[in-house]
Amino acid sequence: MTKIVTHYIGDLKTEAEHIQSGSKLITDAPIDNNGKGEKFSPTDLFATSLGSCMLTIMGIAANTHNFDITGTRIETQKVMAANPRRVAELILDIYLPRNDYSAKEMRLIESAIKSCPVANSLHPDIIKTINYHFPQ
């Protein structure tokens, strides 16, 4: 079990500490919701966690099956909706560093993306749009 302690530090900012590692992060409310947008917002972290989770599970699959995904990046766009205010869609552009992955490696990559715990924890109403990009 992981423990994270979060404190409200004023001015619509929070500070969260990952107890096991001591790592800390600060959030700020976004500009469109009364904040200054000086840090990641809570919903930015929500969106970020999906891309980070996908890359982590892809990395585990690559290590297990002896191929490399180093240099892969995911660019995530968060689309908000109102009434109630919520994340409506996450658009993920996955940039793979090479285009010579075998069919098996691509199946492993796609399976990892679909099986990450964050993806499996999202409400089904949240649209996940995934686009793959390969170098030319």
Q: Which residues of the chain have pLDDT under 50?
A: none
Instruction: Give yes or no: residues 27 and 48 share one domain.
Output: no
How high is the pLDDT of residue 27? 97
pTM over 0.85: yes
Report pLDDT digits (tens) over 42-60: 999 999 999 999 999 999 9
How high is the pLDDT of residue 127? 97
CATH of the domain at 107: 3.30.300.20
Alpha-carbon span 75 to 93, nearest angstrom? 5
Instruction: Give yes or no: residues 70 and 121 share one domain.
Output: yes
For 55, 58, 92, 94, 117, the CA distances from 73, given in Å and listed in that order, are: 8, 11, 10, 6, 19
How high is the pLDDT of residue 136? 73
